[in-house]
Chain A
Amino acid sequence: MQRVNKDPVAGIKEYLDRFVYEPKSWSEFLDLIGLHELLTATREGISIYDA
């Protein structure tokens, strides 16, 4: 978000490359954005926003 706000055009292009075009699957995308961390937190009954 900070990168997009600093340079909207370059920032959003970087996001597209890293998070939309590069992952081989939706699962890989979810791993990239921290699904494992979210699942672990859910199992342990904690919020990832607590930190």
Chain B
Amino acid sequence: MSSVKPYERLRKDLAERDRSLREKVVALGDIGSFVHDGDTVGIGGSTMSRTPMALIWALIRAKRRKLKCCRSITSSDGDLLFASNVSDHIVTSWFSQSILWGVSKVMRHYVESGKAQFEEWSHLAIGMRLRAGAMGIPFMPIRPMLGSDVLKERPEAKEFDCPFTGEKLLLVPALNPDVALIHVQRCDSYGNAQIDGLQFMDIDLALAANKVILSTERIVSNDQIRRSPDQTKFHFSPSTRLSRFRTDALHMNATAPMNR
């Protein structure tokens, strides 16, 4: 059965959301009330960059189970999710503690012993699956993975002849996580958030997800957010374009002093 959510389902999820302007700061330990067993959880950042480790740490302590996690590139966060039995299925393009240490030995143990699943896609395929999810369409045509052995393991992807050029393309299914976990440098208490540096796939991830949980290094005033609106990548409420958005902010008190 396809994991792609039909458009009517996405519309229904959108209509049911609370999109009011309200303060959304909660304690890190409250994450268990936002993430449920069996959820699909998208994780922001990439490898060791802007990984939402506090949220993952709290998720493990909340003892969630059977989470299907997806991430552009997975690092030691994946090792922790498998070893803690929080997740038994990770969708990603690369699974290593970093570049230097090679493929994760922890992942190999859990996958080769049949305890967990590593669902491998190309890096761009992950991004395009989230882009399709963000746009509310069921699939995205791409060229990566065609001619690759990775495709042999992914029956969910469908080869397709372009109706305009006749070229062979690959259709990859939309990915719409139940929850997105994203770390940002600063946000206001409403959930308007700014990030420095590379965005990776986080904007599409936030748009594709039904619920967004942010961890932040600083909670700043709404005035400060308004001074540099071009840096605001995640918005508290939907605009016409960003129509599938909800943000909840988690404050990590201990990291705040680093930015004073």
Cβ contact within 8 Å between B258 and A26: no
Interface size class of A (residues with CB under 8 A): 20 to 34
How many residues of chain B are within 8 Å of chain A by beta carbon?
A: 23
Which residue of A5, A15, A27, A42 is within 8 Å of B105 (Cβ)?
A5
Stretch at the interface among B11-19, B78-86, B137-145, B240-248: B78-86
Distance between Cα atoms of A1 and B255 in the complex (Å): 24
Please, which residues of chain B bring their CB within 8 A of the CB of A48? none
- Contact check, A21 vs B254: say whether CB atoms are below 8 A apart: no
Residues of chain B in range 52-88 having any CB-CB distance to chain A below 8 Å: 54, 57-58, 60-61, 79-80, 83-84
A20 x B258 contact (CB < 8 A): no
Q: Given A21-B61, A26-B54, A42-B258, A9–B106 Cβ distance below 8 Å?
A: yes
Instruction: Give chain B interface residues in 112-135, CB to chain A under 8 Å.
Output: none
Chain B contact residues, majority secondary structure: helix
Residues of A within 8 A of B108 (CB): 8
Contact B253 A8 (CB under 8 A): no
Closest to A2 in B: B101
B105 in contact with A26 (CB, 8 Å): no
Cβ A39 vs Cβ B258 within 8 A: yes
* Partner-B contacts on A (CB < 8 A): 1, 4-5, 8-9, 12-13, 15-16, 20-21, 25-27, 29-30, 35, 38-39, 42
